[in-house]
Structure 1
């Protein structure tokens, strides 16, 4: 049933909520795809015989839910859905994207041996001035920038396998390379996430107009015997990514 085919129902559910629910279902079933413009307030008023305040409340609610972006002179535009990742599972970016039917992609901007900063050395449990491999990449979903990734790998990772190449990193998951080439399977990690305003370079990389919010993730992953392998700083587009975690009552 199309969103506009039947009238609203008088009852306990507010008119604005009924309109919002119909438009939400139309977005979810693909009637309105990302980039499409939803019916405006005037059209909603005419179709359902409601006030401008009611139609505006419905569209405002959809914007609050992160389904649309309202732009002056352009209307209510459907935006790409957020990718949601559980916080209690260690997974690669590639796995996150494929589970949601998106094609992962990678753009490696630099790959170099460098000296670990005190913070990175502490995370990887290295001596001061130890060498690490630094990998700077942009992570893509269906060719659209989703996050930037600044990764540091401990020397033990590439002592036997050698360094990955740009082609290796552009062609697939770093976690897959660690397992298949370096022989290292990650077994756990810890992660800290905080909100921030994107700097100019990050905004350009992610195709954002400043000021723009990003979710900054600091993650350290380890292998058997709790040996730290990787420390990575990820900056996710806050309009495309979210995290969730299950809670139990104490």
Structure 2
């Protein structure tokens, strides 16, 4: 059904909610695509014969859901859907994106052997100043930046296979390379997530206007033998990511 095709109906469902549901379906079925503008309050008022308060409530509810962003002078802009990532599963960026029919890609900015700082050494359980591999990348979905990642790999990750090239890392998942080339399978991990305001450089890398909110994730991943292999600091776009975790009342 086209969002404006039939009139609203009197009944227990408020008018504003009926309008919001129609517009939500229109966003979900692609009638309104990311970057496009939804009908404004005046147009909704004319079409459905409702008050400005009713049409505003409908658009406010869609904004609260994260479907649109209301901008002065531009109206209600449909935004890209958020990526919902469960916190109880260790998965690669490419697995997360493909599960949502998005094409993952990578842009390696630097790749170098460096000496482990105290914090990195603690996470990877190696001696401070031990050699570790540092990888700085931008993670993209459908060519749109989603996150930056600064990864540190313990020596076990490259002692057998040698160092990967930037071209190799740009071609696919780091977890796939670890498994196939280094013979290292990551089976578990722990991560901590916090909100922050991106610095100017991070905002530019993620295609955001500074200042912008981001989510910072610190993750340490290990093998079945509980050997830490990867420590990564990820800066996610807060407007594109949300995290989910199941709760049990004890």
Q: Smaller-chain TM-score range?
A: over 0.9
CA-based RMSD: 0.8
Shift, 1:248, TM fit:
2.2
Tell me how far apart the structure 2 counterparts of residues 9 and 212 of structure 1 sit (CA, whole Å). 41
Structure 2 counterpart of 1:244: 244
**Corresponding residue for residue 37 of structure 1:** 37
Question: Residue 20 of structure 2 aligns with which residue?
Answer: 20
Q: 1:219 is matched with which residue?
A: 219
CA separation in 2, counterparts of 1:81 and 1:133?
34
Task: Return the alpha-carbon distance in structure 2 between the equivalents of residues 52 and 149 of structure 1.
Answer: 45
Give secondary structure in 2 for the equivalent of 1:224.
coil
- How many angstroms does 1:249 deviate by? 2.5
Cα offset, 1:11, TM superposition = 2.1
What is the deviation of 1:245?
A: 1.2
C-alpha separation in 2, matches of 1:125 and 1:172: 27
Q: Give the secondary structure class of the aligned counterpart of 1:248.
A: coil
Residue ranges of structure 2 left out of the alignment (5+ in a row): none
1:81-120 to 2 correspondence within 5 Å?
81-120=81-120
Query: Unpaired runs of 5+ in structure 1?
Result: none
- SS for the counterpart of 2:235 is strand
Q: Secondary structure at the match of 1:194?
A: strand
- Tell me by how many angstroms 1:46 deviates: 0.5
Residue in 2 that maps onto 1:170: 170
Secondary structure of 2:225 counterpart: helix
String of CA shifts for 1:105-134, please: whole Å, max 9, x gaps. 000000011111111100000111111100
Residue equivalent to 1:144: 144
> What is the CA–CA distance in structure 1 between the aligned matches of 2:15 and 2:139, rounded to whole Å?
41
Give the 4+ runs in structure 1 shifted more than 4 A: none
Matched residue, 2:80: 80
In structure 1, distance between residues paired with 2:2 and 2:168:
47
Matches of 1:232 and 1:154, distance apart in 2:
11
Distance 2:14 2:216 in 1: 38
CA distance in 2, matches of 1:5, 1:204: 42
State how many pairs are aligned: 250
Distance 1:198 1:215 in 2: 9
**Partners of 1:203 and 1:125 in 2: CA distance:** 32
- 2:186 corresponds to 1:180: no
**1:2 corresponding residue in structure 2:** 2
